[in-house]
Amino acid sequence: MSSAHSPSSGQNATAASGSGVSSPTFSPLYQQIKRLILQGLQSNEWRPGELIPSEMELAARFGVSQGTVRKAIDELAAENLVVRRQGKGTFVASHLEARSQFRFLRLKPDVGEAHYPDNTIIEARRVRAPADVARQLEIKTGDSIIFMLRMQSFDGAPTILEELWLPSAIFKGLSVERMLAYKGPMYALLETEFGTQMLRATESIRAVAADERSASLLKVPVHSPLLSVQRVSYTYGDKAVEVRRSFYVTNDHYYHNELS
């Protein structure tokens, strides 16, 4: 990024018309500044966990008012791309922070404070992408992907059984041995070792009955009610980089989401 890309006016016009007649559309100046900052985040000019320049510095860099920069950063903070810390500045969001981990873990205990579970990788291997997973990851059926079966336990009780699929082309150096040895949050691993941040996800939720395999691993009776959560996670450019299917035991937990 450089000041050569600075916007020159309060609005940006582009022509778009099927009939050949120019039909300008306008983008507010703060949205242009937001896109420029986003380019810096996407290119790793500022890496996860790092402090970005102050509003005053960014205003000087882009040749706009501090208020315009503040409005752009307000939106980035609302989208969980950056984090404001009182008296310290604005930092690039990181999955190493507890607040980011709980953005994607929506299971809350009936009693007590939410805490991150213990992770156990049951199985990890490279496979050919089945058609449904390939479609969601926007790759070809049969392309190489990484498959992982993982258990998440709270206080020793198996609670979440997860199947994860990751495209091998993006995570080339992710070995089976590395996955089996890793115990922390998966998104933190993908961020620190591969520079891939999960920015948003879509989820589909339904009630299902435990089959023999899931019942055995989760230590519940066959046909016990489970919450099935199908997730597709996206990084910059709205690129799908993970498909995840989770089965939740909700005897002592509930799924919590906030709508606005």
The answer to whether the beta carbons of residues 222 and 215 sit under 8 Å apart is: yes
109: domain CATH number is 3.40.1410.10
Residue ranges in the chain modelled with pLDDT below 70: 1-25, 98-102, 260
Kindly state whether residues 115 and 65 are assigned to the same domain: no
Kindly state whether residues 152 and 230 are assigned to the same domain: yes
Lookup: tokens for 25: 């559309």
- What total number of domains does the chain contain? 2
Q: pLDDT, tens digit, for every residue of 202-218?
A: 999 999 999 999 999 99
Kindly state whether residues 32 and 137 are assigned to the same domain: no
Kindly state whether residues 160 and 178 are assigned to the same domain: yes
67: domain CATH number is 1.10.10.10
Kindly state whether residues 73 and 177 are assigned to the same domain: no
Kindly state whether residues 248 and 135 are assigned to the same domain: yes
Q: pLDDT, tens digit, for every residue of 83-95?
A: 998 889 999 988 8
Q: pLDDT, tens digit, for every residue of 156-176?
A: 999 999 999 999 999 988 887
Kindly state whether residues 73 and 165 are assigned to the same domain: no
User: Can you give the residue range of the structural domain that contains 36?
Assistant: 3-92
* Domain-embedded: residue 260: no
Kindly state whether residues 54 and 144 are assigned to the same domain: no
Helix axis angle for 66-78 and 55-62, nearest 10°, is: 120
pTM value is: 0.77
Last residue of a domain, one of 92, 116, 145: 92
* Domain-embedded: residue 23: yes
**Residue 89 — left, alpha, or beta (φ > 0 → left; ψ -120 to 50 → alpha)?**
left
Kindly state whether residues 107 and 176 are assigned to the same domain: yes
